[in-house]
């Protein structure tokens, strides 16, 4: 992060890797307005960012100190941190102690859920939560299941750890919420002796029940959970795996199968409920088409590798018929981009992508008026196909979008405003609710406790898919990132609060070596209120992977009386359990 204060112009330019440039500018203006740094004199530029995952949303003390130093000396200042500093002092997530209770009938019909959470937030709260939701969207913890009663409460505590509570690649605590309900469903299946897939199928919210009002107040937009789980079961060969598992247990081998059928809540959010520091969580798109039919589109979001440049261009191309290679996408500069709340919580396509579609449709409406003028027909006599308007019954009489754009600058109807550009600030009517079903198969070595993921099938439903390759990339990366908390990543402190694993020598991050071959697929259940039916996908795999892996490992040990293991589930934890259960002898 590098602030550059110009004392002559009293102007501050901040170069930084932030996920929310406009929000950062506003916060700095609110904090530093008394020294003359009003918002029109602050520019935030976020160029290429190699990942964000929620950790690059907050305003850190280092930002404020660096800005103060630049203002004081009138020169550029750079604040940097190395990897060890980042690991030890940056914000952290997932430090939740959850006590969960699930009520059900003897045959497994879920009746109610109760969760009590104690959350460690470090010495100060790093979470940029919507004001109305200090605990984030944890109340999605009722999951994909149909029941009428739920209660959850959360206490946050301050400790001597770094700033805590950041929403690490999840939509404000959805990962923790899904882990709770999906572990409880597996625990219920074990308790009543029912197959965990069958139990889920019997309790799923049915397709015809949508829009569905959850016990804790969410309105799920659309869903079709059964086919997603069935598809995962068919791909992985679920019934045969269960038979194989039974045979292996007879021979003393440890094999487990774990399922996670999750529902996410993303796309924050509707202004009636969602704001950060009072700023409503809309997002924006500005499309400007030049006379030659080439376009530039600017957005209030900020990509960190999600492929916005591809996705947004495709949305506009589909709406207007301008080839996507002729659409330039810009983000991250507060002097040029329309105001937006940034990229996190899988909100870019649900909000800014929607804004792009609506702005493009405004332009298409203008193009229709110009086409009617040039073709000397009424607007009602025109039909649209991607890239041109033509006269009904006379398709040879047509005007391409390029011709219409040129006319907007050269031959538009009298009284019409010249030019061809539109801006839209999209306020979503509801959140979006992507979902999926993941199945994991593990083998455990009894002698060492080492865990091998043999297969992992992930079926996601993110509504309308804009670019399959972008979605696949998001899912593959997210699955590896979801593997991390399930089996590897953990910050360890001693009794005095000293971190014991403050470098990558000791803090385990999975690489391609540790990652299995991810098998992916999808179902498509469009969002009914989004302009193109998209829901968002970037955080689904980090939500669904941890409980699927944990459930598989615990399933491998369940016949020994194991009902739960806290994540990360390491070989040492498994080995100690095997010693405790008398499966092997300690050496």
The confidence score (pLDDT) of residue 91 equals 86
Q: What percent of the chain has pLDDT over 90?
A: 90
Q: Which value, to the nearest 10 degrees, does the dihedral of the CA atoms of residues 535, 262, 266, 278 take?
A: 170
Average pLDDT over residues 181-200: 98
Determine the topology of domain 275-426 in CATH. Aldehyde Oxidoreductase; domain 4 (3.30.365)
Annotated catalytic residues are 19, 169-170, 539
CATH topology of 2-80 equal to that of 275-426? yes
582: left (phi over 0), alpha (psi -120 to 50) or beta: left
CA distance 271 to 409: 36
The two tokens of residue 428 are 């979503």
Domain definitions of the chain by residue range: 2-80, 224-266+432-587, 275-426
For residues 510-539, one letter each, b for 16 or more C-beta atoms within 10 angstroms of the residue's C-beta and e for the rest, the string is beeeebbebebbbbebbbebbbbbbbbbbb
CA distance 268 to 536: 11
Is pLDDT of 446 > 80?
Answer: yes
Give per-residue pLDDT as tens, 404-436.
Answer: 999 999 999 999 999 999 999 999 999 999 999
The confidence score (pLDDT) of residue 305 equals 92
The confidence score (pLDDT) of residue 129 equals 85
Instruction: Return the HEC string of 302-362.
Output: CCCCCCHHHHHHHHHHHHHCCCHHHEEEECCECCCCCCCCCCCCCCHHHHHHHHHHHHHHH
Q: Hunting for tokens 């385990």 — which residue is that?
A: 508
The confidence score (pLDDT) of residue 420 equals 98
Give per-residue pLDDT as tens, 336-392.
Answer: 999 999 999 999 999 999 999 999 999 999 999 999 999 999 999 999 999 999 999
The confidence score (pLDDT) of residue 75 equals 97
Q: Are strands 327-330 and 518-522 parallel, antiparallel or unpaired?
A: unpaired
Average pLDDT over residues 70-94: 92
The confidence score (pLDDT) of residue 5 equals 97
Average pLDDT over residues 435-458: 98
pLDDT-wise least confident of 32-36, 105-109, 533-537: 32-36
The gap from C-alpha 94 to its chain's centroid, in whole angstroms, comes to: 15
In sequence order, what are the residues at sequence separation of 6 or more whose Cβ sits closer than 8 angstroms to the Cβ of residue 559? Answer: 249
Please provide the DSSP assignment of 51-105 as one string: --TTTTSSPPHHHHHHHHHHHHHTS-------HHHHHHHS-B---EEEEEEEEE-
Give per-residue pLDDT as tens, 144-153.
Answer: 999 999 999 9
Q: What percent helix, strand, coil does the chain show, rounded to 5?
A: 35, 25, 40
The confidence score (pLDDT) of residue 61 equals 86
Please provide the DSSP assignment of 356-401 as one string: HHHHHHHHHHHHHHHHHHHHTS-GGGEEEETTEEEETTEEEEEEEH
Is pLDDT of 587 > 80?
Answer: no
Determine the topology of domain 224-266+432-587 in CATH. Aldehyde Oxidoreductase; domain 4 (3.30.365)
Give the pLDDT band of residue 556 (cuts 50, 70, 90).
Answer: very high
Q: Are strands 212-213 and 219-220 parallel, antiparallel or unpaired?
A: antiparallel
Q: Which value, to the nearest 10 degrees, does the dihedral of the CA atoms of residues 183, 189, 190, 195 take?
A: -120
Cα of first residue to Cα of last residue in the chain, in angstroms, is: 51
Residue 45 contacts residue 333 (beta carbons within 8 Å): yes
CA distance 258 to 182: 10
CATH number belonging to the domain at 2-80, selected among 3.20.20.70, 3.30.565.10, 3.30.365.10, 1.20.960.40: 3.30.365.10
Q: What percent of the chain has pLDDT over 70?
A: 100
Is pLDDT of 183 > 90?
Answer: yes
Q: Mean pLDDT for the chain?
A: 96
pLDDT-wise least confident of 55-64, 69-78, 435-444: 55-64
CA distance 328 to 340: 18
The confidence score (pLDDT) of residue 42 equals 97
Q: Hunting for tokens 């999840």 — which residue is that?
A: 170
């Amino acid at each position: 992060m590098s602030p550059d204060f110009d004392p002559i112009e009293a102007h501050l330019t901040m170069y930084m890797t932030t996920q929310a440039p406009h929000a950062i500018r506003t916060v700095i203006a609110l904090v530093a307005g008394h020294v003359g740094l009003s918002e029109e004199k602050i520019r935030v530029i976020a160029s290429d960012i190699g990942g964000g995952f929620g950790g690059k949303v907050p305003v850190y003390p280092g930002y404020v100190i660096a800005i103060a130093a630049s203002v004081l000396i009138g020169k550029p200042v750079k604040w940097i941190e190395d990897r060890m500093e980042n690991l030890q002092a940056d914000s952290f997530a997932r430090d939740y102690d959850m006590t969960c209770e699930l009520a059900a009938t003897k045959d497994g019909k879920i009746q109610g859920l109760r969760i009590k959470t104690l959350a460690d937030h470090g010495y100060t709260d790093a979470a940029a939560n919507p004001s109305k939701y200090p605990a984030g969207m944890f109340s999605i913890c009722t999951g994909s299941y149909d029941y009428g009663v739920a209660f959850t409460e959360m206490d946050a505590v301050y400790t001597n750890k770094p700033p805590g509570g950041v929403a690490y690649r999840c939509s404000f605590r959805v990962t923790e919420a899904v882990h709770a309900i999906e572990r409880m469903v597996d625990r219920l299946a074990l308790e009543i002796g029912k197959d965990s897939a069958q139990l889920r199928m019997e309790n799923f919210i049915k397709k015809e029940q949508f829009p569905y009002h959850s016990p804790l107040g969410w309105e799920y937009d659309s869903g079709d959970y059964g086919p997603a789980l069935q598809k995962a079961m068919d791909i992985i060969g679920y019934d045969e795996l269960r038979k194989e598992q039974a045979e292996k247990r007879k021979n003393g081998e440890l094999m487990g199968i774990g399922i996670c059928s999750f529902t996410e809540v993303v796309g924050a959010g509707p202004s009636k409920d969602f704001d950060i520091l009072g700023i409503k969580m809309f997002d924006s798109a500005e499309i400007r088409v030049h006379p030659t039919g080439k376009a530039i589109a600017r957005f209030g979001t900020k990509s960190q590798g999600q492929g916005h440049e591809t996705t947004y261009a495709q949305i506009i191309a589909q709406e207007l018929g301008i080839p996507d290679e002729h659409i330039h996408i810009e983000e991250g500069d507060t002097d040029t981009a329309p105001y937006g709340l940034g990229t996190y919580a899988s909100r870019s396509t649900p909000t800014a992508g929607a804004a792009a579609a609506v702005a493009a449709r405004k332009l298409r409406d203008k193009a229709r008026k110009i086409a009617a003028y040039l073709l000397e027909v009424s607007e009602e006599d025109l039909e649209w196909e991607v890239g041109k308007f033509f006269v009904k019954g006379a398709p040879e009489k047509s005007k391409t979008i390029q011709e219409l754009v040129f006319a907007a600058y050269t031959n538009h109807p009298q009284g019409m405003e010249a030019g061809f550009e539109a801006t839209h600030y999209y306020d979503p009517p509801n959140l979006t609710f992507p979902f999926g079903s993941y199945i994991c198969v593990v083998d455990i070595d009894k002698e060492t406790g080492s865990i091998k993921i043999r297969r992992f099938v992930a079926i996601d439903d993110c509504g309308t898919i804009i670019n399959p390759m972008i979605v696949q990339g998001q899912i593959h990366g997210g699955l590896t990132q979801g593997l991390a908390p399930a089996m590897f990543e953990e910050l360890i402190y001693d009794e005095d609060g000293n971190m014991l694993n403050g470098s990558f020598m000791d803090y385990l991050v999975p690489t391609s070596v540790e990652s299995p071959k991810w098998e992916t697929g999808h179902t498509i259940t469009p969002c009914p209120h989004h302009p193109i039916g998209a829901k968002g996908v970037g955080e689904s795999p980090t939500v669904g992977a941890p409980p699927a892996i944990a459930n598989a490992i615990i399933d491998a040990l369940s016949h020994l009386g194991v009902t739960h293991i806290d994540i990360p589930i390491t070989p040492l934890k498994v080995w100690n359990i095997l010693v405790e259960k008398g499966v092997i002898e300690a050496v």
